[in-house]
Structure 1
Amino acid sequence: MTETVIRPLRATDRPAWDNLWESYLAFYKTSLPTDVYDTTFARLLSNDSHDFNCLIAEQNNEPVGLVHYLFHRHCWRVENVCYLQDLFAAPSVRGTGVGRKLIEAVYAAADDAGAPNVYWLTQDDNQTGRQLYDRVGTLTNFIKYQRPA
């Protein structure tokens, strides 16, 4: 079995991150303009007060997955909480534990930051992802709403 290494995003990861991010967006049937890629990548590398973070999963020194997460305040807790915003594993490595390792790395980062809660969203028809999420998380009964465009 190929070893999976989880590590922080580096500036030199830009081409690989672009490819993984584009594949993630395609999975959700969306695309974004170049300036959003540029801004997001810069934010992920910055040390600003939003604690916007990215971890990369590597196999054989090649990036094969990513996770974006951030910490924020919460009205029901004294501590910050952690929002796992995006998770993606390349189709070639799905089912090999990459997604689980990325989620567990976010759990560890949240523990290190004193954030007792990690949460995320997915589409209800993401059956493959939900098989993993059912093993590593607890399904809640919340429904998401957003402002109309």
Structure 2
Amino acid sequence: MTYSTGFVTEGDKAEWRPLFDGYADFYGVPMNDTIADTVWGWLLDPSHVLEGMLTRDESGKAVGFVHVRACPRPLGGCEIGFLDDMFVDPEARGSGAADALFAALEELAEARGWPAIRWITQHYNERGRAFYDRYTEGPSDFIMYQWKQT
């Protein structure tokens, strides 16, 4: 299967939203219109750091997305890419759609001068981790912390 990947445009919301909902469902995060509309607004705002790309199958149907942003890397004195979110429709998994998204990320990193792209995933995301391991030497030795203020 051949895929095409590009940045989201105003007319893509109807196809992006079910994928975004699927991503939220996978992580057990309740989704509503307020949250989704906020994220969609960020993706369309050229002054916001978050950007989104969709990958489409040969029929033109959106089957996956990534949300990515520039992230300062102080020890390198540069910016790198940070992959916040990635999701591929379960029916398109294993078909090359995720590889198409990573190929687009590689092109983006090259165009932006990012020497690396980083991301995190849940430990239980076994299928995703197996895919990521094809592109990396496995998980990093960093431990992520999250401080939640109440």
TM range (shorter): over 0.9
Mapped partners of 1:114, 1:89: distance in 2: 26
Write out the 4+ residue segments of structure 1 that deviate beyond 6 Å after TM superposition. Answer: none
Return 39-48 or 27-36, whichever deviates more.
Answer: 27-36
Q: CA deviation at 1:122?
A: 0.6
Residue of structure 2 equivalent to 1:146: 146
Residue of structure 1 equivalent to 2:53: 55
Identify unmatched segments of 5+ residues in structure 1: none
**Structure 1 vs Structure 2: percent identity of aligned residues?**
27
The count of corresponding residues between Structure 1 and Structure 2 is 147
Residue of structure 1 equivalent to 2:92: 93
| Contact 1:9-1:45 at 8 Å conserved across structures | yes
Residue of structure 1 equivalent to 2:123: 124
Mapped partners of 1:72, 1:142: distance in 2: 17
Mapped partners of 2:117, 2:136: distance in 1: 9
Mapped partners of 2:136, 2:31: distance in 1: 29
| Contact 2:42-2:48 at 8 Å conserved across structures | no
RMSD: 1.2
Q: CA deviation at 1:7?
A: 1.3
> What TM-score do you get using the length of structure 2 for normalisation?
0.93
Within-5 A mapping of 1:5-84: 5-48=4-47, 50=49, 52-59=50-57, 60-84=59-83
Mapped partners of 1:121, 1:45: distance in 2: 24
Deviations 1:60-86 (A, max 9, x none): 111000000000212111210110110
Identify unmatched segments of 5+ residues in structure 2: none
Mapped partners of 2:67, 2:55: distance in 1: 12
Amino acid of the structure 1 residue aligned with 2:116 = N
Mapped partners of 2:3, 2:103: distance in 1: 13
Amino acid of the structure 1 residue aligned with 2:140 = T
| Contact 1:64-1:90 at 8 Å conserved across structures | yes
| Contact 1:100-1:136 at 8 Å conserved across structures | no
Q: CA deviation at 1:16?
A: 0.9
